[in-house]
Amino acid sequence: MINVTGFRYCRLGTANLEETVKFAKDIIGLELVDIKDGFAYMRGDDRDHNIVYFQGDPNDHTVGLSIETFDELDAAESTLKEQGLTVHRGSDAEAAARRCMGYINFKDNSGNSIDLTVRPFASGKRYFPSRDAGITEYSHIGLRVTNPREAEKFWSNEFNFKTSDWIGWSALMTFDQVHHRFALFPSDRPGIQHINFQVAETDDIMKSNYFLMDRQVRIQAGPGRHSLSGARFVYYYGPDNMIYEYSCGVRMVDETWKPRQFPINDAAFCAWGSRPDLDILGPSSK
């Protein structure tokens, strides 16, 4: 069992690094921490960084998690190899670029690229936002998987992930108290489907909704309230058609929590009645 303790970062290729960094600063509200060797390090909380953008294929995505020790890293490498997965042990230079003391990378059965880091860097400086979006934390992602049942099994058998709820076959999973860190969405390709930042309160969601509309940023869904996690949300498109989400008030779960099955319909997605694009979740029950 691989014991994930931290939800750390994503690394995203982009067709236009300069424009994407500008969007992340001016629209999302992230702080540009550093640009080094073509990598732009950005964050929405006090950790070293949450997103790394680089000039490259916009479908090239990596998710960064953390585990506690180098012994656990060695054990994780063996476990994943036993599963027949390709595992790469990062060099010192590659670890330095990921701002951690060591890592391995593997591809899951869908082809998702995952970094398992050890001792990722904290920051001596507090987060200083580029706009007052109210961001408090980089919190979860939507992850595309080619077989959601198999992917759920993988993350719960090989890792300490647990399912908090299902919508259709999509599992919303976590390794800690936050209702979900991964939302597994059926897809014909791997990659990150959306990136979530928590904000402080519902007012921040509504303020950003008007801010985004004023700047003609395309809203993907919301404002609304997720029936599963209870979080208020708004989703919008960024460069390369990546979807970003602000949400607040996500439910916390503990060991007594029992996962619930929801159908795929508007009411399961949004308790307020916003009309999302449900195609991402697979065949609808409507």
Residue 242 Cβ vs Fe ion, minimum distance, rounded to whole Å: 13
Residue 196 binding Fe ion, by CB under 5 A: yes
Q: Which is nearer to Fe ion, 56 or 282 (CB)?
A: 282
Q: Which is nearer to Fe ion, 76 or 248 (CB)?
A: 248
CA–centroid distance for 36 within its chain: 23
Neighbours of 158 (CB within 10 A): 17
Instruction: Judge whether 24 and 18 are in contact, CB under 8 Å.
Output: no
**For 250, which DSSP code?**
P
Give residues with Cβ within 8 angstroms of 169, minimum separation 6.
148, 149, 186, 282
Q: Which stretch binds Fe ion (CB under 5 A): 28-36, 155-163, 236-244, 245-253?
A: 245-253
Neighbours of 82 (CB within 10 A): 9
Residue 229 Cβ vs Fe ion, minimum distance, rounded to whole Å: 8
Q: Which stretch binds Fe ion (CB under 5 A): 12-20, 28-36, 151-159, 237-245?
A: 237-245
Instruction: Judge whether 27 and 90 are in contact, CB under 8 Å.
Output: no
Q: Which is nearer to Fe ion, 105 or 208 (CB)?
A: 208
Instruction: Choose among 130, 142, 283, 136: nearest CA to 221.
Output: 142
Residue 233 Cβ vs Fe ion, minimum distance, rounded to whole Å: 7
The residues with which 26 forms a beta bridge, in sequence order, are none
How far, in Å, CA of 247 to CA of 139, rounded?
9
How far, in Å, CA of 238 to CA of 149, rounded?
29
Q: Which is nearer to Fe ion, 125 or 218 (CB)?
A: 218
Residue 225 Cβ vs Fe ion, minimum distance, rounded to whole Å: 12
Residue 62 binding Fe ion, by CB under 5 A: no
Only one residue has tokens 């208020």, namely 232
Residue 169 Cβ vs Fe ion, minimum distance, rounded to whole Å: 17
Q: Which stretch binds Fe ion (CB under 5 A): 38-46, 103-111, 188-196, 257-265?
A: 188-196
Burial of 161 (0-12, 13-18, 19+ CB in 10 A): buried
How far, in Å, CA of 45 to CA of 31, rounded?
9
In Å, how far are 90, 96, 115, 120, 251 from 67, measured between CA atoms? Answer: 15, 17, 10, 9, 24
Q: Which two tokens stand for residue 135?
A: 């961001």
Q: Which is nearer to Fe ion, 196 or 198 (CB)?
A: 196
Whose CB is nearest to Fe ion? 196
Q: Which is nearer to Fe ion, 137 or 245 (CB)?
A: 245
Q: Which stretch binds Fe ion (CB under 5 A): 7-15, 205-213, 239-247, 256-264?
A: 239-247
Q: Which is nearer to Fe ion, 90 or 134 (CB)?
A: 134
Instruction: Choose among 187, 190, 155: nearest CA to 1.
Output: 155
Residue 140 Cβ vs Fe ion, minimum distance, rounded to whole Å: 6
Residue 247 Cβ vs Fe ion, minimum distance, rounded to whole Å: 6
Q: Which stretch binds Fe ion (CB under 5 A): 9-17, 25-33, 99-107, 240-248?
A: 240-248
For Fe ion, which residue of 245, 264, 278, 281 counts as binding (CB under 5 A)? 245
Residue 179 Cβ vs Fe ion, minimum distance, rounded to whole Å: 10
Query: Footprint of Fe ion on this chain (CB under 5 A)?
Result: 196, 245
